[in-house]
Structures are given as structure tokens and as C-alpha cells.
Amino acid sequence: MTAFDLDAVRADFPALTTPDAAGNLPLFLDGPGGGQVPRPVLDAMVEYLGHYNSNLGGFADAGRRTTQLVADARAAAADWLGAASENIVFGPNSTTLMFNLSRAVAATFAPGDNVVVSDLDHFSNVSSWRRAAEDAGCEVRVLPLDADGIDLDYGRLADLVDESTRVVAVTAASNLLGTRPDVARVVARAREVGALVSVDAVHAAVHEQLNFEALDADFLYASAYKLGGPHLGICAAKAEHLSGLRPYKVEPATEESPARWEQGTQSFEALAGFVALVDYWAEFGSGGDRRARLASAYEVIDAHERTLTELFLAELARRPDLRLYGRASVDGRTPTFAFNLTDADGVRDASGLVRWLGERNVALGLGNFYALGAVRRLGVETVLRAGFVHYTSADEVRRFFALVDEWSGSER
């Protein structure tokens, strides 16, 4: 597949044609929570489990294939994130990897050091560093949102990130507001003072091609299940950290890097699904090697997602009882939208709406989505969140607004 044929794309997802008991087809607006899984990924996982299930180090066919699979998965992750295989660490999810890596980094902290986290981040990249810093007796500083409550307040970088800063933790895209902050600017400030940078690319990696090496971050995290893969966390880390830091690991487990960071037995079926996912994604693009095809795939998919963003923002703007948080423009954002129901008194409880939609098999989120800093800054406890991915159609966006109108009408 080189052109983006949405009907063909959607035909690859069994979940999109699986109705609920009442016969309602699903409307997945919860993309930022995790994507549905295309057939090639499902097939690869079933094939591995059904025919080649093994542990590492086996000499027979299944064992040899499993060893090869790990190498293939590292190569796929390297292509996906713009790193080398030696940079790639796998784990059950990004949060677990963040806690593991941050503890090993914190073993090098001294009293008087500080870490800087951001108000735009999912709390995986906040709590992991906060807890590590607290245990080491270090200060935790917070890079706030700007006056609009949309992007980071870059003006604060100079005073918050100083000679005693050991780590700056920042997101590459907000899973709540969709904001894509200027990560390069944060990395540049960290480099001036010799601080490490931990980039949470879990949401960003669904919508843009990352380049770990060019970004010059120390740690970068992504989760395959957000893109339609299995539950699998991936960290790209500088090789010097993976060999220089001391992992919390079982003594007889390998000391070879990067495998020394992978505690216990990995989910090899997830690795099989992940390799298939990266190959699936690359097929949307064209070009020489897989990394080049992935780059062009992201462009093709971005063009589609931009049309969905335009449509969503236009429809939302026509409804004064829906208040958007975050950028009201197509640029500088992902197709993820935080909003709330409002009336003359302010923000209204939206739980009735999400339940009503849920009964019609529409998955719309309501919560803080672990982006606590941003939610607090917005002065609310919860937001509604709709997020699109490559298989979302314009018809689905229209159907969503028609349902919201129907619910509003029934409320009056």
C-alpha cells in the first residue's frame, strides 16, 4: 500500500466492524489511550505463540527464532525512533521503564542537585523523576505552562534549569492538550548546564517521526500499543548510560548492554507484533530503507490527520457549549483534543454525556489522563478527550458531533 486509501486501511482492523450487543458499531475516539490492532500485528503474535514460543538461549528452532526476533525488534525500534539497536531497551510499558531508568540515574544524584519536570507531561515522566529525586534528597522544580495554558513557559528555562540540574524531563507531545512543545529548546538549555534529558514520546510517536539521535536526548520513551501494536514499552537511551549506569537486575542475568536493562522474561509475542507493526506502518510510505519509508508514511498520515483536526475544530467552534483547551489551530498539535461542556455557570459535569455515548458504543474519554499538571493549571478536575489516529474517518468525526447534538437536544 503506497497511497492512503482509508477504506483499505480500515478493512485491516477487525475491531472497527465488531458491533456491541445492541448492534452499534464502535466509534473509537480514545486513540491517545491506545490504538486498535491491524491484522498483520495480530497474525504475527498468533504465529509466534502458536509455533515458536520459547525463551532466550534455546538451541532448537523456536529458541533460535526467539533470539533472532529480539534482534529484529531492536532493529525495528531503532528505525522507528531514529536510534541504533544498541540504544534500545524493551519493557512491559513506558512507565515501568521510566521508573527503572530514573532510579539508576538517581543513584548518581547528590544533595543540592535538582530535577526539572514539566506541567505539560503525563505523570509517568513526572512521578518517576520526582520519587527518584525525593529518595536522593534532591529538589524538584516544575516548568510551568504559559499564560494561555497551552505550551511550556520557555522563559522560565533559564532560571529553573541551572548548574545543579541533573535531569530535565519533558514531553514531546501532550496526551491531554495535543500540544507539541519545542523539545529542542529544552534540550539546548539542558546541554548548557550538563543536565540529562528524558523525553516522553509516547503520544508524539503516534503522529510524528522521532529522531532520537538528532534530538540529542539521553532517554526517549515510546509505547507500541499507542500505535496499534501490543503492550510494549520502548526506551531509546544513549549507549554510554546503558553501559555506565548500574541497572537493578537479577545477578546472573546478562551484563551485556542493552539487554542488562530488561528485567525478567520479555513478552516475545509482543516483540513479534511490534516488528509487524513497524513494517505495517512503513508500507504507508515509499523510499529506500525502512526508516525512509516510515518518514514518508508519517507525512501521508499527517496529511489525513490534519483534515480531521480542521473538521473537528470547525465543528467544535460551532457549538458554544463546548470549550476547547489547547491550540485552536492545526499546527503545533496532534489530533488530540481536550474540552469540556459549559453553560452560563461554567464547566458542567460531563459524566452523563460519556455514559450516554458509551451506551451507543462511542468511546470518549473523561478524566485527567494522568496529565495532572495541565489539568490543575486549567482549573478543572477532568476534561473530555477525543483523539484520532490514522484509521479515524471524517464520517466518524461528524457522527460524533451529531450524537453530541442529539444528547444536548434530549437534555433540554
Footprint of ligand PLP on this chain (CB under 6 A)? 32, 93-95, 122, 124, 171, 175, 200, 202-203, 223, 233
We find the least distance from the C-beta atom of residue 150 to ligand PLP, in angstroms, to be 16
Q: Residue 113 or residue 218: which is nearer to ligand PLP going by CB? A: 218
Q: Grid coordinates in use for 374?
A: 495541565
| C-alpha cell belonging to residue 333 | 498539535
For the bound state, the minimum distance from the C-beta of residue 156 to ligand PLP, rounded and expressed in Å, comes to: 21
Residue at 411: amino acid letter: E
Nearer to ligand PLP, 154 or 370 (CB): 370
Closest distance between ligand PLP and the C-beta of residue 122, in Å?
A: 3
Give dist(CA 270, CA 224) in Å, integer. Answer: 9
By beta-carbon proximity to ligand PLP, the closer residue of 66 and 171 is 171
In angstroms, what is the minimal distance from the CB of 384 to ligand PLP? Answer: 16
Coil, strand, or helix at residue 51? helix
Q: How far is the CB of 126 from ligand PLP (least distance, A)?
A: 10
β-pair partners for 91: 233
Residue (123 or 401) nearer to ligand PLP, CB: 123
- Shortest distance in whole angstroms from residue 279 CB to ligand PLP: 21
CB distance 193 to 214 below 8 Å: no
CB atoms within 10 A of CB 264: 9
Q: Which is nearer to ligand PLP, 165 or 223 (CB)?
A: 223
Nearer to ligand PLP, 341 or 389 (CB): 389
The 10 Å CB-count burial string (b at 16+, else e) for 293-327 is bbbbbbebbbebbeebbebbbebbeeeeebbbbbb
Instruction: Using alpha carbons only, give the angle 196, 197, 203 rounded to the nearest 5 degrees.
Output: 160
Sorted by sequence, the CB contacts under 8 Å of residue 90 that are 6+ apart come out as: 73, 74, 77, 232, 233, 234, 262, 266, 271
